[in-house]
Amino acid sequence: MSETLFALDRGNYRDCHMLYRGPRNEEYYLGDYTLESGSSIDVRADRKTAGSCSLIRLSSRNRQYFRRSWSHIRADGTDVAILWFVKRGGLSIVHPTGRSIARAGDFAITYSTTPFYMECDTDEQSVHQVFHAVIPTHLLRRLIPAELPAGFCTAAQGRAFSLAERMLTDVFEDQGRLSEQSSVLLVDGALSVLRDALAEGDLPRPARRSLAQKRLDDVLRYLDAHFCNPALSLGTMAEACGISRRYLSFLLDLHGTPFSTLIWQKRLNAAAQWLASPESAGVGIKEIAHRVGFKSPAHFSRLFRSAYELSPTEYRRRGAG
């Protein structure tokens, strides 16, 4: 039988960055997970394990965001692939070779050893739903030898795709009638069918990155390394990356986030992690504000309350509780 991996509502959604990996903090992998707040919060993920694989059904009425950076990869060496079957809404995946868009009815792949940024969008009825399998990468490569790049996306059409998804869904929805061995065999069989489904189409060749994509990667890497610098600005970053301010603004438009929003999000996310960490209990809020790049603690507090609907002190107290 499946079990609840996590369920988020207005009472706990601010702690989503700590809750999304499940009660044992073992599912998925380390990254920055955030939600778009609204009048209601409704996110639920249910999981069923089959050997070393996990099958997860995730439904949400809120947009979700996830970032897996090189710093996360260095801190957490988990090596898995996630196979995404998009049921409702869509996925926007920014990865080293560009951006992929997966809509309802599409299939996509991400890897824990490759950095990416993902936006999970809702549909016209404000619903996002995906069914996905978390597979150890070595197992995936044994069953599907073709090297599928991170962010690979294709329409999940045809009988083979439908059969593979149906087999995985049957394992997920099983109420205890299947033995563990049978569940594992069915998952292996579904992956073999999926291999045939992929072979029926044109498997991707390594994508050639445009100059703009390469420069955007450079910009985002620089920002990841220097966002805590309080002197960082659009001008100083453009100069450091060897491009003009206008071209930098163009690259960030490709990313979909203006400079000011991007840098405040990074600083606030870093501050929230500091405040939620027991190891930083002895570090003052003013000091945390300065460490993540804020010149003014008052400005930090205003932006933090606007983003999290709690003051930094209240957020720390809730995390400690």
Residues 288 and 195 in one domain: no
Q: How many domains does the chain have?
A: 2
* Count of beta carbons in the 10 Å neighbourhood of residue 214: 13
Residues 266 and 181 in one domain: no
Per-residue pLDDT for the chain (321 aa), expressed as one digit of tens each? 789 999 999 899 889 988 999 888 778 888 999 998 777 899 999 999 999 999 999 999 999 999 888 778 878 888 899 999 999 999 998 877 678 899 999 999 999 888 888 999 999 999 999 999 999 988 888 777 666 777 888 888 778 888 999 999 999 999 889 999 999 999 999 998 988 887 765 444 444 556 777 788 888 888 888 888 899 999 999 888 888 898 888 888 877 788 888 899 889 988 988 888 887 788 899 999 998 999 999 999 999 998 888 999 999 888 655
- Which pLDDT belongs to residue 206? 43
Residues 20 and 163 in one domain: yes
**Residues found in the chain:** 321
Distance, in Å, from the CA atom of 186 to the CA atom of 182, rounded to the nearest integer, reads 6
Task: Find how far residue 269's CA is from the centre of its chain.
Answer: 14
Residues 153 and 257 in one domain: no
Residues 142 and 113 in one domain: yes
Residues 157 and 233 in one domain: no
Residues 189 and 216 in one domain: no
Q: Does 16 reside within a domain?
A: yes
Residues 196 and 258 in one domain: no
- Which pLDDT belongs to residue 223? 86
Q: Does 206 reside within a domain?
A: no
Output the domain CATH number for residue 54: 2.60.120.10
Residues 44 and 186 in one domain: yes
Which of 17, 4, 10 minimizes the C-alpha distance to 275?
17
- Which pLDDT belongs to residue 43? 96
Of 176, 200, 224, the residue at which a domain comes to its end is 200
Segment (H or E) for 133: strand 128-136
Global confidence as pTM: 0.63
Q: Does 126 reside within a domain?
A: yes
Distance, in Å, from the CA atom of 321 to the CA atom of 318, rounded to the nearest integer, reads 5
- Which pLDDT belongs to residue 5? 94
DSSP SS3 for 199: helix
Distance, in Å, from the CA atom of 139 to the CA atom of 79, rounded to the nearest integer, reads 11
Range list of β-strands (E), the chain: 3-8, 32-35, 43-50, 53-60, 64-68, 80-88, 90-95, 98-103, 106-111, 116-121, 128-136, 153-155
Residues 88 and 130 in one domain: yes
- Which pLDDT belongs to residue 282? 85
- Which pLDDT belongs to residue 298? 93
- Which pLDDT belongs to residue 150? 77
Q: Which two tokens stand for residue 299?
A: 């400005």
- Which pLDDT belongs to residue 273? 86
- Which pLDDT belongs to residue 203? 44
State the greatest distance between any 2 C-alpha atoms of the chain, in Å, as a whole number. 63
- Which pLDDT belongs to residue 145? 62
Q: Does 205 reside within a domain?
A: no
Structural domain that includes position 50: 3-200
